[in-house]
């Protein structure tokens, strides 16, 4: 049995789990947002509350980091992981906000697939966070996130092709493209989270 003379602060694991679970909530709100007949203003308000909750999680991690002498893994990596998780939530919230601000009522069919990518990435990220304690069985997580991000890229390109096909007027194209860009940025941000987890796992192995 290893004896540790100075206690290590392990609450970071639970805090990262809470932060990642909040991403699942946000992604599922996006699913609701693009559904036919959705109360988009109400859903966007829930998304704003979700984003605020994410900010609180991030601030709590940063405060704990400043107060802690011995951390479970590198301080820089804790900061980076907290920041990248926060980035995902920011992108999803911005997409929802733009939908309401631009009064978008109809979406290209392919946007469903983009949101499904985000929902699955959120679920995988939430499942992975508790495994940081042991640093085991994480490689499948970042491999699958990378695959999902590639899938998201393909969906994004198809959506752009549809937007510029002449089916939509110029103003609608501009509005929809901003929303789709934010969703693509969210998919990229999920990959940044996975890359950070991979870096941590490699250092700790």
pLDDT tens track for 71-105? 898 999 999 999 999 999 999 999 999 999 999 99
pLDDT at 9: 64
- Residue 48: both structure tokens together: 């704003």
pLDDT at 155: 97
Digit-coded pLDDT (tens) for 140-179: 999 999 999 999 999 999 999 999 999 999 999 999 999 9
Q: Is residue 90 part of a domain?
A: yes
pLDDT at 119: 98
For the chain, the domain total comes to: 1
Q: Is residue 1 part of a domain?
A: no
- Residue 128: both structure tokens together: 């992975």
Q: Is 93 helix (H, G, I), strand (E, B) or coil?
A: helix
User: In this model, does residue 3 exceed pLDDT 80?
Assistant: no
Q: Which residue has the higher pLDDT, 174 or 1?
A: 174
Q: Domain of residue 70: give its range.
A: 8-202
Q: Is residue 104 part of a domain?
A: yes
User: In this model, does residue 133 exceed pLDDT 80?
Assistant: yes
Q: Is residue 2 part of a domain?
A: no
pLDDT at 2: 39
User: In this model, does residue 106 exceed pLDDT 50?
Assistant: yes
Residue 172: enclosing H or E segment and its boundaries? helix 170-204
pLDDT at 24: 98
Torsion of CA 192, 56, 23, 41, to 10 degrees: -120
Q: Is residue 3 part of a domain?
A: no
Q: How far is CA 102 from the centre of its chain?
A: 23
Contact 87, 156 (CB under 8 A): no
Q: Is residue 29 part of a domain?
A: yes
Q: Is residue 13 part of a domain?
A: yes
- CATH code where residue 186 lies: 1.20.58.220
């Amino acid at each position: 049995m290893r004896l540790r003379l100075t206690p290590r602060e392990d609450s970071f694991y639970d805090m990262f789990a809470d932060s990642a679970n909040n991403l699942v909530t946000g992604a599922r709100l996006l699913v609701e947002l693009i559904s036919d007949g959705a109360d988009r203003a109400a859903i966007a308000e829930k998304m704003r509350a979700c984003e605020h909750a994410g900010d609180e999680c991030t601030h709590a991690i940063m405060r704990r980091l400043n107060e802690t002498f011995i951390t479970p893994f590198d301080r820089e990596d804790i900061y980076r992981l907290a920041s990248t998780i926060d980035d995902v939530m920011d992108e999803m919230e911005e997409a929802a906000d733009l939908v309401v601000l631009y009064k978008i009522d109809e979406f290209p069919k392919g946007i469903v697939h983009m949101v499904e990518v985000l929902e699955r990435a959120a679920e995988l990220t939430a499942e992975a966070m508790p495994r940081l304690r042991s640093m085991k069985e994480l490689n499948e997580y970042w491999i699958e996130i990378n695959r999902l991000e590639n899938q998201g890229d393909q969906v994004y390109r198809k959506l752009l092709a549809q937007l510029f096909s002449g089916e939509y007027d110029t103003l609608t194209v501009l509005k929809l493209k901003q929303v789709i860009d934010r969703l693509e940025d969210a998919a990229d941000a999920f990959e940044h989270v996975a890359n950070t987890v991979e870096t941590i796992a490699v250092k700790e192995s």
